Amino acid sequence: MMAVTDNNRFRAALVQMRTGRHVEANLATATELIRQAAADGASYVQTPEVTTIMELDRDRLFAECRSEDEDPAIAHFRTLARELAIWLHIGSVAVKVPDGMLANRSLVISPQGQIVARYDKIHMFDVDLPGGESYKESRNYRPGRQAVLAPLPWGPLGLTICYDLRFPNLHRALAKSGAKFIAVPAAFTRVTGEAHWHVLVQARAIETQCFMFAAAQGGRHEHGRETFGHSLIVSPWGEILAEGGTEPGVVAADIDLERLAEARARVPSLTHDRYFDFGIAETPPGAG
């Protein structure tokens, strides 16, 4: 099926993966699923966070990573986008940056194979979870400092990654700056995903009145940890338009921008911000 689009309608697809420790195998899986999405008519295809490698061993991770200009996987994805004539959004890849760290970087590639937007994940997932799981993303990754809008033919796409989902101010700022869609490619853990994934993605959609595109990692990975899966496409009204399970695959939905216009007309909350001071109330005499 050829992709059919106009200025108000297009097909969006999310590639759900179970990325392992070997870049070549992950690249082959991603390529197969991207081709499947394009064959189904998708004009915009998104992969999840850490598309090319999931590795806990720091030395091995750094040995496998390259700078953006030298990364053969990025070059491959640029060629693939051009071949398929799609907007290809690589949810994130780990790339080396000059300070000796890595950046968790999202890349939006045009149908001409050009990288039109880059976003480095701002919020670092440094947490200790119940059950003994511990994540210290800042040990390997340098946090980004800039919010980014990517220019799609149907309107601006706000870029976020995974843990950014928990920070509504970032999403609100993207929407106030013109975003019609917000991407949150992710690798939520099974524990946090079961508790919060659906409600957070839907809440961000409702708060920003944007479509949310959230490609996810899912299942038990080679390194032993589990991710939640359940890739989601959510409307500006908070409706789930498409959802994956825990297995690798593709989920897709037809996007109609009239839904966005309707949501913003019904509850125009993006125009209702009021600025306020903050004060601490005095304790009444005799209280306490």
| Per-residue model confidence as pLDDT tens digits over 154-191 | 999 999 999 999 999 999 999 999 999 999 999 999 99
Q: Tell me the average pLDDT across 89-114.
A: 97
> CA–CA separation, 249 vs 46, rounded Å?
12
Q: What is the pLDDT of residue 5?
A: 54
Q: What is the pLDDT of residue 1?
A: 43
**Considering the chain, what percentage of its residues have pLDDT values greater than 90?**
88
Q: What is the pLDDT of residue 189?
A: 94
**Considering the chain, what percentage of its residues have pLDDT values greater than 70?**
97
When the pLDDT of each residue in the chain is averaged and rounded to a whole number, the result is 94
Three-state DSSP at 221 gives: coil
Q: What is the pLDDT of residue 129?
A: 73
Q: Which tokens belong to 204?
A: 């961000």
Q: Tell me the average pLDDT across 251-269.
A: 97
Which residues 6+ apart lie within 8 Å of 116 measured at CB?
A: 108, 109, 110, 150, 151
Which residues 6+ apart lie within 8 Å of 117 measured at CB?
A: 106, 107, 108, 148, 149, 150, 151, 157, 159
Residue 136 designated active-site: no
Using 50, 70 and 90 to split pLDDT, how confident is the model at 2?
very low
Per the residue annotation, which of 49, 55, 65, 180 is the catalytic one? 49
pLDDT at 204 over 80: yes
Residue 121 designated active-site: yes
Global pTM value:
0.94
Q: What is the pLDDT of residue 281?
A: 79
> CA–CA separation, 55 vs 276, rounded Å?
45
pLDDT at 284 over 80: no
Long-range contacts (CB closer than 8 Å, 24 or more residues apart) made by 273-282? 273/176
Per the residue annotation, which of 65, 121, 210, 243 is the catalytic one? 121
Cβ-based neighbour number of residue 110 at 10 Å: 20
Cβ-based neighbour number of residue 116 at 10 Å: 14
Per the residue annotation, which of 162, 180, 210, 243 is the catalytic one? 162
**Sequence ranges of the domains in the chain:** 9-266
Handedness of CA 152, 27, 96, 183 (dihedral sign): positive
Tens digits of residue pLDDT in 21-77 = 999 999 999 999 999 999 999 999 999 999 999 998 999 999 999 999 999 999 999
CATH of the structural domain 9-266, one choice from 3.60.110.10, 3.40.50.970, 3.90.330.10, 3.40.50.300: 3.60.110.10
Q: Tell me the average pLDDT across 273-279.
A: 89
Strands 9-16 and 44-46: parallel
Using 50, 70 and 90 to split pLDDT, how confident is the model at 282?
confident
Judging by beta carbons within 10 Å of its beta carbon (0-12, 13-18, 19+), is residue 143 exposed, middle or buried?
middle
Integer angstrom CA distances of residue 253 from 17, 63, 92, 112:
18, 38, 22, 23
Three-state DSSP at 166 gives: helix
Q: Tell me the sheet residues that pair with 256.
A: 9
Residue 194 designated active-site: no
Tens digits of residue pLDDT in 104-148 = 999 999 999 999 999 999 999 988 877 767 788 999 999 999 999
Secondary element (H or E) of residue 214 = strand 211-214
Q: What is the pLDDT of residue 288?
A: 58
Helices (H), 40-167: 58-64, 72-84
> CA–CA separation, 86 vs 78, rounded Å?
10
Each residue of 211-230: b (16+ CB within 10 Å) or e? bbbbbbbbbebeeeebbbbb
